[in-house]
Structure 1
Amino acid sequence: MNIVILGSGNIASHMGKALHTLGHQILQVYSRNWANAHVLASVLNADAVDTVEEITDRADFYFIAVADQAIQQVADQLPQPVNGIVVHCSGATDINILARFPLHGVIYPAQSLRKDIATSLRDIPFGIEGSDRDIANSLLRLIQTISVKPFLCDTKQRLALHLAAVFANNFSNVLFQIAYEILKEQNLTFDLLKPIILETAQKVQKQIPEDVQTGPAKRGDTETIQKHLQFLMKNPHWLKIYQELTGEITRKEH
């Protein structure tokens, strides 16, 4: 397949490299910053372009892999007509943002990707949405060459997956950072928590998170909770987070 990558960031890099490795021809990499486009294009044996007017209309697929807030602008500037399928790679952006193109869809990798970290896409779930059944199936077949976990979904399901990923990944990571800072203030290393973090992650691979919940809120240990609240009095932001999460756990118990 002949492919154009619009973007040069995290998803653009991973998708471009995966498709290139499989033998697909990456015709062009577009970025408003030519140097960024050139770095990725040189890896993919593609041409680097920094204006939408240079984008070919002869590709089979156009991957808009840019920040969510830039998808609309890139889509609006992409010349018409293009013969291929235009897709974006966002979890939270409606498919209808691409409605001006007769053939359009979405390919959303449910994973936190960084272009400077090598990551296999094989076991990453990909939410696939198409403007019609044929387009969806075409995108599904393409991604099945990259991952063993692509699935068809609609926009609301994709948004739900993205939101759930924010809770599971982004929010848990900021809680890790709070834990790191609490320990650092007491001259303790974050390494002390790595075994329990790993154990929790391993548990939820096979069980529902609610079924493996532990801690003072779960067992109704108000005395320990009060000690924690007292400890956190000097940081009202952390105190509020603790209270909200404790309330969520105890609510599940009633």
Structure 2
Amino acid sequence: MRPETIAIVGAGRLGSTLALRLSDAGFKITEIIARDNPRSLAQGRRLSRSVKARTCIARRGTLDATIIWFCMPDSKIAAGVLEFARRDLRNKIALHSSGVLGSDVLAVMRESGAAVASVHPLMTFVQNSQPQLHNVAFALEGDQRAVRVAKKIVKALGGKPFPIRKQDKIAYHAFATMICPLLISLLAASEQAAKLAGISATEARVRMMPIVEQTLVNYKHMGAAASSSGPLVRGDTDTIGQHLSALVRNPALKRVYSALAQAALVYLPTRNRKAIARLLS
């Protein structure tokens, strides 16, 4: 068992995965602190059974762990932290895992004696999926002592910690949003394009996976420019024009296509840029 002990505040998707992976890595989870409602408490109890912890609400938490880790929605962290105001937190570490908020949102914990940091895993957490954290990048920012401890924990999880400046977190979170939820948005839009071709969403998901997976492999090994293909690279204005005509039946989908094509004109190698830009305008 590792010397650090951890209380998890929040038993949702992130908190559940983090608690399980920390427990797997040899960390003692002392408490799962849930909201004071039946659903949250039930989630907390299920998680507690898995990691051999106790379940409680904030005002009844013993906070005997060395680390208090907030795994709450961004909009709930500031209010959640206030529930721990005026507690004696000397020699403790307080962490949160918001991608967009800096460590200063934990100022109340700092005023009570804790060192604080933000520790954001660059990973997706959705219902019925609990990813491994091996090789996952974690953005760290905050007090030196808290960052030092957080770095040690991330490495124990098999993750890859890296420093981020607090003033860069919003742009960093925009990056994270583009590579996950907006990537899913693109795939959802692609299903609608398939529908115009008479292909169901289920069929589209099956049929697109080989090309999507190969595209990601290409991107991983060669980068964006060398992985780009299709009519934009060739400068094939006739094909692009036909695409736009076909997408008239779904104006929202046409706007998505046009926005992505315009991005390609800026960031990827393309021929006939001016002619394509006129088509898209």
- CA distance, structure 2, for counterparts of residue 246 and residue 152 of structure 1: 33
1:235 paired to 2:242: no
Match in the other structure for 2:25: 22
CA contact (8 A) 1:11 1:115 kept: no
Match in the other structure for 2:34: 31
CA contact (8 A) 2:248 2:254 kept: yes
TM-score by length of 1: 0.92
Match in the other structure for 1:120: 132
Match in the other structure for 1:176: 187
Match in the other structure for 1:70: 76
Match in the other structure for 2:277: none
Alignment of 1:96-115 (within 5 A): 96-102=104-110, 103-114=115-126
- CA distance, structure 1, for counterparts of residue 82 and residue 232 of structure 2: 50
Alignment of 1:42-57 (within 5 A): 42-50=49-57, 52-57=58-63
- CA distance, structure 2, for counterparts of residue 216 and residue 172 of structure 1: 21
Q: Give the alignment partner of residue 150 of structure 2, picking from 114, 127, 139.
A: 139
What is the letter of the counterpart of residue 104 of structure 1?
V
The structure-2 alpha-carbon separation of the partners of 1:115 and 1:238, relative to structure 1 and needing over 3 Å to count, comes to closer
> 1:198-248, CA deviations, whole angstroms, 9 ceiling, x for partnerless residues?
111101112221332222223221111111111111211111111111112
The count of corresponding residues between Structure 1 and Structure 2 is 252
- CA distance, structure 2, for counterparts of residue 184 and residue 165 of structure 1: 28
- Cα deviation for residue 130 of structure 1 reads 2.3
- Cα deviation for residue 175 of structure 1 reads 1.3
CA contact (8 A) 1:110 1:126 kept: yes
Q: Give the alignment partner of residue 238 of structure 2, picking from 215, 218, 223.
A: 223
Q: CA RMSD in A?
A: 1.8
The structure-2 alpha-carbon separation of the partners of 1:158 and 1:4, relative to structure 1 and needing over 3 Å to count, comes to same
1:86 paired to 2:86: no
- CA distance, structure 2, for counterparts of residue 56 and residue 82 of structure 1: 11
TM-score by length of 2: 0.84
Query: What are structure 2's unaligned runs of at least 5 residues?
Result: 274-281
- Cα deviation for residue 16 of structure 1 reads 0.5
1:8 paired to 2:11: yes
What is the letter of the counterpart of residue 6 of structure 1?
V
- % of aligned pairs identical? 21
- CA distance, structure 2, for counterparts of residue 123 and residue 217 of structure 1: 34
Match in the other structure for 1:164: 175
* Equivalent position SS for 1:161: helix
What is the letter of the counterpart of residue 18 of structure 1?
R
